[in-house]
Amino acid sequence: MISFFFKKKTLPLLTEDFIFFLKNKFGVHPINQQLYLEAITHSSYKNIENSQYDNERLEFLGDAFISLAVANYLFKVYPDKKEGYLSQLRAKIVSRENLNKIGEDIGLQNFILYQKSSNNYKSLVGNTFEALYGAILIDVGLEKTQKSIEEFILKNHINIDKIILENRDYKSELLMLFQKKRTPIVFKTFKTDHIQQEVTFSSEVYSNGERIGKGIGTSKKAAEQDACRVILSAT
């Protein structure tokens, strides 16, 4: 956990460890240190330190900036892709789940100030990640902040090819393939035995009464997608 030292009648200063973290993971050297202190301060921290600020306003700003920055990056990288395709990619990249993962990958959780208790603060790391980019935007300006997120985050921590594969709609592709053949297909999906205490589903795909593929998943939709993936990979 990061610590701070105070000088009389001055703002708290960030530790050298956190300043190094910002330079190494974001390519930023802080000018207004209070902005970054505010960015890593969760609202629960007020209860134990009588803090006068938290990161919620910076989170609001960072959320908007990250969405715009990712859109700008995808627009440049994929000049031939249509709006719907780019929107799906952006939604996946800026999802709270993905921002949580990025924050954890870079070790942001080690610097967040919050009240440790039995409460599980949902999206604590992802929210702080957004707040940090709100602070960076105010501190160094739009151009440098865009460069930071492209060079240090999107290129280092985002596997767009993997995201594309994960977002591929195998079921729609298979249905279109068989529509062209004028051959109907039927899905038979049902719950199976629990595997490692998780409910699983199995999906079988039939054409002209013959089973042409089978898949499993943690939901009906996932099982059907898996079955279609198997069939398409063998086509």
Q: Where are the alpha helices (DSSP H) in 31-187?
A: 33-39, 46-49, 56-77, 83-93, 96-106, 124-140, 142-148, 155-157, 160-166, 170-180
- Which pair of structure tokens corresponds to residue 164? 């594309």
Reference 96, options 69, 68, 71, 124; nearest CA is 124
Does the residue 205 lie in any domain? Answer: yes
Question: How far is it, in rounded angstroms, from Cα 47 to Cα 116?
Answer: 11
The residue among 111, 134, 166 that closes a domain is 166
- Which pair of structure tokens corresponds to residue 217? 């998943």
Question: How far is it, in rounded angstroms, from Cα 144 to Cα 168?
Answer: 33
Residues 182 and 142 in one domain: no
Q: What CATH number corresponds to the domain at position 126?
A: 1.10.1520.10
Does the residue 30 lie in any domain? Answer: yes
Report in angstroms the alpha-carbon separations of 93 from 59, 73, 97, 176.
Answer: 17, 11, 9, 28
pLDDT digits (tens, 9 = 90+) for 1-14: 444 433 333 445 68
Q: Domains in the chain: how many in total?
A: 2
pLDDT at 194: 61
Give the residue numbers spanning the domain of 44: 16-166
Residues 160 and 218 in one domain: no
pLDDT at 217: 87
- The one catalytic residue in 130, 139, 224, 226 is 130
- Average pLDDT over the chain reads 86
User: What's the pTM?
Assistant: 0.69
pLDDT at 123: 85
pLDDT digits (tens, 9 = 90+) for 213-234: 999 988 898 899 999 999 998 8
130 is catalytic: yes
Burial (CB count within 10 angstroms: exposed 0-12, middle 13-18, buried 19+), residue 232: middle
Residues 79 and 186 in one domain: no
pLDDT digits (tens, 9 = 90+) for 107-152: 999 999 887 764 567 789 999 999 999 999 999 999 999 999 999 9
Question: How far is it, in rounded angstroms, from Cα 182 to Cα 1?
Answer: 62
Question: How far is it, in rounded angstroms, from Cα 174 to Cα 207?
Answer: 12
- The one catalytic residue in 54, 63, 139, 226 is 63
The residue among 166, 185, 201 that closes a domain is 166
Residues 21 and 40 in one domain: yes
Does the residue 7 lie in any domain? Answer: no
Question: How far is it, in rounded angstroms, from Cα 150 to Cα 66?
Answer: 10
17 is catalytic: no
Please name every residue paired with 41 in a beta bridge, in sequence order, or none if there are none: 113
Residues 217 and 106 in one domain: no
The residue among 107, 132, 166 that closes a domain is 166
Question: How far is it, in rounded angstroms, from Cα 25 to Cα 106?
Answer: 7
pLDDT at 5: 37
Does the residue 2 lie in any domain? Answer: no
pLDDT digits (tens, 9 = 90+) for 51-65: 577 899 999 999 999
Residues 213 and 125 in one domain: no
